[in-house]
Amino acid sequence: MSFRQSAVCNLVLIGPAARREFSTLVSWLRQNPGIRIVDHFRDVGAALDGWDSLSAEPEMTVVLQSWSDESAQPDVNQLIGKTLFQRLLCCIGPWCESDGRNRDVWPDALCVRCRLAESVIAAELRSINAGHLPIPPTSSRDEVFAHRMAATAHGPGLQDMEGAVIGPDRVFRKTICSTLRDDGLRSVHLPLITSRHRIVSREASRGPIHFVIHDLDPWDELTEYSLTASRRMFPLATVLGIASMPDAGIRAELDDSQIDSVVPKLDFENGLHWQLKQLLDSDRQKQVHSYG
């Protein structure tokens, strides 16, 4: 194993970066101090034409796919060949998330849903810095799952912190509490807060609540009321939502809800670890610990 001298990863970006479904991911890539975007191409064909004139050798290539069959199979195969000993990821938008059922233009090992892409790319950056080899494009789905679980298996340190899990499904709330307990976060779980409840500032008997994790499914008036009420009940807490489809639609609904982030249920454990770590590493860390 060999470690890199530079902590900055040279990255080539391919695809329609200005489209709304990719705006959050592209903004994160451009602002990430561990990433240097050395070139951006409109599509895979253009990238192949300009590959020999890149300003620097890329260590990772990220393709943004808006619709099924956007890239021709021969072009994809050629790009895979050019990046065989580097990292290549195709981040697929919401309109082509079902491609794996009846399309195989991109191998499973190279595909990631756009809404899950940040945590996967961050794990690949750590893997690059550690000198690990990329996962082969021919890997099976089981191997891809094991690879990504291992890369993000270590959750953030949440010792001496308290959480509140709120949602309509008692079993799901307890599952979240169990996951948080493995990361050191003690938590209580509560049903949805309804208009029948008297909304007052509340803290757990063991101390202040640092994180509120609120189930957003199904999104309706009751869930919206409960989310707003939880902000009033725990005014100093960082609030995370959990949703089956955290796309632009629900994010628009949440614009006025003062929610800090939304975690996809399909990437529940890794996504939760990722978002909590991001919050702990950001300036919100000061807010979380400003209780005394």
Q: What is the CATH number of the domain that holds 89?
A: 3.40.50.2300
The string of pLDDT tens digits covering residues 165-189 is 999 999 999 988 988 887 778 888 9
Last residue of a domain, one of 151, 179, 199: 151
Same domain, 105 and 170: no
Give the global pTM. 0.68
38-47, 139-148, 191-200: which range is least confident on average? 191-200
Same domain, 145 and 171: no
Residue 68 lies in a domain: yes
Confidence of residue 157 (pLDDT cuts 50, 70, 90): low
Residue 3 lies in a domain: no
CA 91, CA 118: separation in Å to the nearest integer? 10
Same domain, 247 and 279: yes
Q: How many CB atoms lie within 10 A of CB 279?
A: 20
Where does residue 12 rank: exposed (0-12), middle (13-18), buried (19+ CB within 10 A)?
A: buried
Residue 126 lies in a domain: yes
Q: Which has more confidence, 24 or 88?
A: 88
CB 103 within 8 A of CB 69: yes
Q: Report, as an integer, the average pLDDT of 104-124.
A: 89
Return the pLDDT at 3: 47
Residue 4 lies in a domain: no
CA 109, CA 87: separation in Å to the nearest integer? 10
Asked if pLDDT for residue 11 goes beyond 80, the answer is: yes
Mean pLDDT of the chain, nearest integer: 84
Return the pLDDT at 119: 83
Last residue of a domain, one of 151, 182, 206: 151
Confidence of residue 81 (pLDDT cuts 50, 70, 90): very high
34-38, 94-98, 138-142, 208-212: which range is least confident on average? 94-98
CB 12 within 8 A of CB 58: yes
Same domain, 235 and 188: yes
Same domain, 172 and 210: yes
Where does residue 38 rank: exposed (0-12), middle (13-18), buried (19+ CB within 10 A)?
A: middle
CA 87, CA 100: separation in Å to the nearest integer? 20
What is the edge-to-edge ordering of all strands in the sheet holding 9-14?
A: 35-41, 9-14, 60-65, 87-92, 111-113
What is the edge-to-edge ordering of all strands in the sheet holding 238-243?
A: 186-190, 162-166, 211-215, 238-243, 261-264
Same domain, 170 and 190: yes
Q: Report, as an integer, the average pLDDT of 145-164.
A: 71
50-54, 88-92, 270-274: which range is least confident on average? 270-274
* Residues 6+ away with beta carbon under 8 Å from 65: 15, 71, 90, 91, 92, 93, 96, 106
Asked if pLDDT for residue 92 goes beyond 90, the answer is: yes
Residue 169 lies in a domain: yes
> What percentage of the chain carries pLDDT values higher than 70?
84
Residue 86 lies in a domain: yes
CA 87, CA 281: separation in Å to the nearest integer? 25
CB 105 within 8 A of CB 69: yes
Residue 172 lies in a domain: yes
Report the number of distinct structural domains present in the chain. 2
Return the pLDDT at 284: 46
Same domain, 194 and 123: no
Residue 96 lies in a domain: yes
Same domain, 176 and 272: yes
Same domain, 214 and 139: no
Return the pLDDT at 1: 40
Last residue of a domain, one of 131, 151, 171: 151
Same domain, 125 and 221: no
Return the pLDDT at 248: 60
CB 90 within 8 A of CB 106: yes
145-154, 206-215, 218-227, 258-267: which range is least confident on average? 145-154
Same domain, 136 and 49: yes
The string of pLDDT tens digits covering residues 186-245 is 888 999 998 766 666 666 555 688 889 999 999 899 999 999 899 888 888 889 999 887
Q: Report, as an integer, the average pLDDT of 34-60.
A: 96
Same domain, 275 and 243: yes
Domain assignment of residue 226, given as a range: 162-288
* Integer CA distances (angstroms), 99 to 62, 102, 165, 180, in order: 18, 6, 34, 33
